[in-house]
């Protein structure tokens, strides 16, 4: 079983749509959780950290369920500029490497 699993997509949605990405992780000892965004093989950029209490940043909402080892990302009112690959990322013990999912590709069209 992969340490971090994501549906690769692609998700093709029209502008204005709401889209949800899911991710599961295998190591119950994982401590930190993130969504990164990667455009066209450029560097990954942090989209948001993910907390059990859930967190929201504008059109983006992330949620962590530790019991189910499940992470989600919701994007509301999709924009063309949201087209990218979204990487679910888990950090194990503090200071150790990030473990990446394979990424979910989103394509938003007009």
Partner 1 sequence: GEEVAQTPKHLVRGEGQKAKLYCAPIKGHSYVFWYQQVLKNEFKFLISFQNENVFDETGMPKERFSAKCLPNSPCSLEIQATKLEDSAVYFCASSQSPGNIQYFGAGTRLSVL
Query: Could you write out the DSSP letters of every residue in 26-65?
Result: S-TT--EEEEEEE-TT---EEEEE--TT-EEETTEEEEEE
Nearest CB to partner 1, comparing residues 53 and 110: 53
Q: Which is nearer to partner 1, 15 or 56 (CB)?
A: 56
Provide the minimum distance between the beta carbon of 32 and partner 1 in the complex, in angstroms, as a whole number: 6
State the nearest-atom distance from the C-beta of 38 to partner 1, in Å. 7
C-beta closer to partner 1: residue 76 or 102: 102
């Amino acid at each position: 079983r992969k340490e971090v699993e994501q549906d690769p997509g692609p998700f093709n949605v029209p502008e204005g749509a709401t889209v949800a990405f899911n991710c599961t992780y295998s190591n119950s000892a994982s401590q930190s959780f993130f969504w990164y965004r990667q455009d066209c093989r450029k560097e990954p950029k942090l989209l948001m950290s993910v907390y059990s209490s859930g967190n929201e940043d504008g059109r983006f909402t992330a949620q962590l369920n530790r019991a189910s080892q499940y992470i989600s990302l919701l994007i509301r009112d999709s924009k063309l500029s949201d087209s990218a690959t979204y990487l679910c990322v888990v950090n194990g013990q503090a200071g150790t490497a990030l473990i990446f999912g394979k990424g979910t590709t989103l394509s938003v069209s007009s």
